[in-house]
Chains A and B, each alone.
Chain A
């Protein structure tokens, strides 16, 4: 059981680390999609099928496509946006910061008195989940729906707003 988890974790972290270090934006997005698929595999391993389904649908399906569109819309050439002069030292500091955070978190995880042999986890069916969402969490579901609507309208307004180049003049 642990072997599967370790394999999923290594694949996910490897894909994410490769994505964050590639110079080409399209490669980054594709590798991150792989990493998100690995996270969905982890949800499946943990028995949260609905979360895995949502992860595949939203991250692998929708967000990766939206990011791909943003990359293509802001593309300028083959070597678009070459890195600046100080970017190498900044990358070194960033890796250092990431390693420090990982060290602190891993030490905390290793020292915490967590249960050594966990009980078999709670089983969740989609019917139960639907009952929870429509019963105790109905208000939160409505709020999230309103949030998504407002965010999407705001995104459209932001992205479609007139730039400095006066679109009327080109008609």
Chain B
């Protein structure tokens, strides 16, 4: 396997771990962390393609990753605020309990 393929396999495995975690756990904080892992796996892909592209421009991959990390940070802040808000309303952060919007 070439290094690029190894990097892509690494990021695929990390994405699958994040997906399994986000689907398996009912604690909303852990679901959020699983989504963060998937975002990180996407960032790994960006860096890998930037590093091993034959004629890439100087800093494109890093710029992409920096913006993606900033958006992920914003997403985490809002997600944790939602978790705390859910906890204040029903004293529980398990997703099975957050059924108030259920039709």
Cβ 8 A contact of B63, one of A17, A20, A43, A132:
A132
Asked if residues A147 and B71 are in contact (CB atoms below 8 Å), the reply is: yes
Q: Please report which residues of chain B, range 40-79, place their CB below 8 angstroms from some CB of chain A when the two chains form the complex.
A: 40, 43-44, 47-48, 50-63, 65-67, 69-78
- Chain B interface helix/strand/loop/mixed: helix
A158 contacts across to B, CB distance below 8 A? 78, 81-82, 84-85
B37 to chain A: closest CB distance in Å? 6
> Once the chains bind, are B17 and A20 in contact (CB under 8 Å)?
yes
Q: How distant is B98 from chain A, measured CB to nearest CB, in Å?
A: 12
B47–A114 contact, CB under 8 A? Answer: no
Categorize the interface residue count of chain B.
35 or more
| A35-B37, A121-B56 as given contacts; A144 in contact with B77, CB under 8 Å | no
**A2 to chain B: which residues have CB within 8 Å?**
3, 6
Known contacts: A63-B73, A129-B62. The answer to whether A20 contacts B25 by CB under 8 A is: yes
Chain A contact residues, majority secondary structure: helix
Q: Is the CB of A105 within 8 A of B81?
A: no
Tell me whether B24 and A20 are in contact (CB under 8 A).
yes
Asked if B5 and A110 sit within 8 Å, CB to CB, the answer is yes
Listed in ascending order, the chain B residues whose CB lies under 8 Å from chain A are 1-10, 12-27, 29-30, 32-34, 36-37, 40, 43-44, 47-48, 50-63, 65-67, 69-78, 80-85, 87-89, 91-94, 96
